Amino acid sequence: IRPALKRADLWREQAFVAGQWRGAAATIAVDNPATGAVIGHVPDLGAAETREAVDAAQAAFGPWKAKTAKERGAVLKRWAALMLEHADDLATIMTAEQGKPLAEAKGEVGYAASFLEWFGEEARRVRGEVIAPHQADRRLVVTRQPVGVVGAVTPWNFPLAMITRKAGPALAVGCPIVIKPSELTPFSALALAALAQEAGLPDGLLSVITGHAKPIGEVLTGDSRVAKFTFTGSTAVGKLLAAQCAGTVKRVSLELGGNAPFIVFEDADLDAAVEGALASKFRNTGQTCVCANRLLVHTDVHDAFAQKLAARVAAYRVGPGLDGPTDQGPLIDDRAVAKITAHVADAVAKGGKILTGGKQAKAIGARFFEPTVIADVPADALLNREETFGPLAGLVRFSSEQEAVALANDTRAGLAAYAYTADAARQWRLTESLEYGMVGINTGLISTEVAPFGGVKESGLGREGSHLGADDYLDVKLACIAVP
């Protein structure tokens, strides 16, 4: 059942390929995770259509990069304004296919639009440099040029923002982009494409190809005309796609999984730490790559923090986002429910104590899981080793800063880490000792379009957002000029 929209034409059951809306005989069904009901179908396109999109992108590249940054930026800013104008519809579409609470979906629309606005402005700040030469009769001039056609594969957890974080900088600096959104959330991506067209983005610069991942991904990672590949998703798929890119030595950006520690020290403001933990752990029903995954709590405050956190979590309203105000939605699919269920069982088997939640909320729907807090979880529990990606907060005790940092860094992931402490010197030490791309000190929310987002170790390559976010779409070129 389709969600009701103010502008019904933002609901597209066709893909957007090379400036054309395109159907196909074969389609893929998309469901509402809150109900399991099919809400619509998208075309099952493949390698041929992806190559067509790349052809069109290649053709559109020259004229687009020849425009001034101001002209390109104006299109991006119009696109952002249209997103905000239609924020209610975009949020409804997103909640219908992704499940997040409507207020969060609306928040994501604003967050997603902010990347288009930001990079629309940043386009004008792409700069080169002149280097003092190594010889008196040489001049060294460094410019930066758009890399060319970009291929992007994006996930379902932020169906709009994970696209604008890539399309914004790519288009701003002059690169066309061909996007394969998640099969689970294509309608947000297609609505976004409709608004790009309405904003006046010339044909071919942006394509959204729906279909099964593998054949589309093979073109985006294997076609030599695609100069740059950018991916957000799981670490396993990211590694596979990066390997596929090796054959043509593409520039590669990856935003992969995290395993964020959230450290509460004995001197922390516990109420603030609880607020931060709620924001970080339970946002998007625990399905973000920067979600606190392991709550490391000093043994002196473990019980008090656990009680306060559990009381707040127990009061969460769980339900379908389109039916009224909620705090927690469904998980994306049955696999996600199975994973969190296994993590709870493992934590309990290893001695953890459930303070609230702990099981499926079957009365609400098959993919709902009660928001859960488990105290006294040992460090070797599954929920500390793997990203849970669900509403489960497991608390691990520690007794010294050294121990907390060692536990925090004991993972191949390195995306986000959080710490709550009143000690200013410790705050500085943590920003240096935590092996993560982003460290939140006394805050559980770190994402903004003006700051660099990205990970170290196996959490990824490159940065999105901020002035650095454009770098991934620019090649550095040296001109060495003889001036006899």
Catalytic residue ranges: 255
What is the Cα–Cα distance from 123 to 74, expressed in whole angstroms?
10
Q: Please, which residue, 118 or 187, has the CB nearer to ligand ADP?
A: 187
The nearest distance, CB 233 to ligand ADP, in angstroms, is 3
DSSP state string for 214-266: HHHHHHHHH-TTEEEEEEES-HHHHHHHHHHHHTTT-EEEEE----EEEEE-T
Stretch that binds ligand ADP, among 53-61, 233-241, 365-373, 390-398 (CB under 6 A): 233-241
The nearest distance, CB 189 to ligand ADP, in angstroms, is 10
Q: Please, which residue, 297 or 383, has the CB nearer to ligand ADP?
A: 383
Other CB atoms within 10 Å distance of the CB of residue 93: 30
What is the Cα–Cα distance from 184 to 110, expressed in whole angstroms?
21
What is the Cα–Cα distance from 175 to 173, expressed in whole angstroms?
6
Assess 239 for contact with ligand ADP (CB under 6 A): no
Residue at shortest CB range from ligand ADP: 217
Cα-based distances in Å from 185 to 50, 204, 464: 18, 22, 21
Q: Please, which residue, 30 or 301, has the CB nearer to ligand ADP?
A: 30
Q: How far apart are the first and last CA of the chain?
A: 73
**Residue from 17, 82, 126, 153 binding ligand ADP (CB under 6 A):** 153
The nearest distance, CB 241 to ligand ADP, in angstroms, is 6
Enclosing H/E stretch for 425: helix 424-433
Cα-based distances in Å from 424 to 102, 143, 389, 428, 433: 38, 41, 31, 6, 14
The nearest distance, CB 222 to ligand ADP, in angstroms, is 11
Ranges within 195-214 binding ligand ADP (CB under 6 A): 213-214
What is the Cα–Cα distance from 285 to 237, expressed in whole angstroms?
22
3-class SS of residue 441:
strand
What is the Cα–Cα distance from 209 to 175, expressed in whole angstroms?
17
**Residue from 24, 237, 348, 446 binding ligand ADP (CB under 6 A):** 237
Other CB atoms within 10 Å distance of the CB of residue 323: 11
Stretch that binds ligand ADP, among 132-140, 236-244, 418-426, 464-472 (CB under 6 A): 236-244
What is the Cα–Cα distance from 389 to 295, expressed in whole angstroms?
14
For residues 100 to 129, the per-residue mask of contacts with ligand ADP, x marking binding by CB under 6 A and - elsewhere, is ------------------------------
The nearest distance, CB 349 to ligand ADP, in angstroms, is 25
How many residues line the site for ligand ADP (CB under 6 A)?
14
Residue with tokens 């619509």: 40
Q: Please, which residue, 146 or 257, has the CB nearer to ligand ADP?
A: 257
Assess 390 for contact with ligand ADP (CB under 6 A): no
The nearest distance, CB 253 to ligand ADP, in angstroms, is 14
Stretch that binds ligand ADP, among 231-239, 302-310, 353-361, 464-472 (CB under 6 A): 231-239
Residue with tokens 């009660």: 370
Cα-based distances in Å from 100 to 42, 287, 327, 371: 21, 9, 9, 14
Q: Please, which residue, 119 or 229, has the CB nearer to ligand ADP?
A: 229
Q: Please, which residue, 157 or 421, has the CB nearer to ligand ADP?
A: 157
Contact present, 274 and 88 (Cβ < 8 Å): no
For residues 159 to 198, the per-residue mask of contacts with ligand ADP, x marking binding by CB under 6 A and - elsewhere, is ---------------------x-xx---------------
**Residue from 98, 114, 154, 285 binding ligand ADP (CB under 6 A):** 154
The nearest distance, CB 191 to ligand ADP, in angstroms, is 17
Assess 155 for contact with ligand ADP (CB under 6 A): yes
Which residues contribute to the site for ligand ADP (CB under 6 A)?
153-155, 180, 182-183, 213-214, 217, 233-234, 237, 240-241
